[in-house]
Amino acid sequence: MIVADKLKKYYGKNCGVEDVSFSIAPGEIYGLIGPNGAGKTTTIRIILGLLKMDSGSVSIGGAGIPEHLGRVKSSIGYLPGEVNFYGDMRVKEFLKFNRGFYSDDLQGSEDELVEYLAIDREKKFKELSQGNKKKVGILQALVHHPKYLILDEPTNGLDPLLQNKLYQLLERERNRGTTILFSSHVLSEVERLCQRVGVVRNGELVKELSMEDVREIAIRKITVTGNRDLSVLDKYSVTYSDGSSRVYSVRNSELNEFLKKLTALEYTDVEIKRPPLEETFMEIYGGGEQE
């Protein structure tokens, strides 16, 4: 289990995080979500012992962090938001270096992930695209079958095919009983993977939600074109209007009702989009600058 209790971190007078608390059980994927700069990465770095908290406590598998990090370090897998290794080191050299940190034979697991992720062992890191660097980071985080897996914006820089491969790997790890924490601002991956989410805004964990809650409050942007009389839809928030079309912001819980009303009208076109998670939660919890 991963437990964070009343975490607080300030950078001078600026709030990094304040009073952040949550726990994650074995076999659970917990999403730490919110706008960019909300405090997600600060929280993750505190949990990993990479950043000293001002107050609060963290434990991983019962070991207090950072004091007893050594007891569980080999059981943790970590994928940072940006993956950077030694530019002149070849991937195969790095993988050999990484194997040296573990007593178990990782060659079989490494070979499997190299093939699954289509990693080129011969290239130097400075020759790799950001997406291919991320592949190596994914391998490093997963190769030792960690009990605790922590990922910071794991799909940044990945194409849709590789994103799906990562989702499958995370589902496999969860089925093994791995405790998984990851930060994201992509609603579709949160809906697909998580059992619970914590919403972070301005350094505070403002709400914990089940996935049923997330689906309920998720917003759709619906553009209606070619109808001048849309008064029947006045109860819904309009985010844009140019005379010929209007863009409505409609929660999932209101979607069926909205579409029933819309079908009674005459219009030339309708388009439904899912906005980014950041926009969804900024609308729900209001505006305000992030850290």
Same-domain pairing of 201 and 223: no
Same-domain pairing of 27 and 64: yes
Structure letter (DSSP) for residue 64: E
Same-domain pairing of 6 and 76: yes
Same-domain pairing of 206 and 235: no
pLDDT confidence band for 73 (50 / 70 / 90): very high
The number of distinct structural domains making up the chain is 2
CA distance linking residue 133 with residue 88, whole number of Å: 13
Residue 260 reports pLDDT greater than 60: yes
Same-domain pairing of 200 and 224: no
Exposure b/e, 194-221, CB count within 10 A at least 16 = b: bebbbbbbbbbbebebebeebeebbbbb
Predicted local distance difference test score (pLDDT) of residue 277:
59
Structure letter (DSSP) for residue 275: P
CA-closest candidate to residue 58, choices 12, 101, 9: 9
pLDDT tens for residues 94-105? Answer: 999 999 888 888
CATH number of the domain residue 258 falls in:
3.30.70.120
Same-domain pairing of 187 and 148: yes
CATH number of the domain residue 93 falls in:
3.40.50.300
pLDDT confidence band for 226 (50 / 70 / 90): confident
Q: Is residue 280 part of a domain?
A: no
Residue 83 reports pLDDT greater than 70: yes
pLDDT tens for residues 178-196? Answer: 999 999 877 777 878 899 9
Same-domain pairing of 223 and 123: no
Domain residues for 264? Answer: 219-273
Q: Is residue 285 part of a domain?
A: no
Same-domain pairing of 13 and 131: yes
pLDDT tens for residues 265-279? Answer: 888 899 998 776 556
Q: Is the pTM of this model over 0.85?
A: no
Same-domain pairing of 251 and 194: no
Q: Tally DSSP H helices, then E strands, for the chain.
A: 10, 14
Predicted local distance difference test score (pLDDT) of residue 282:
57
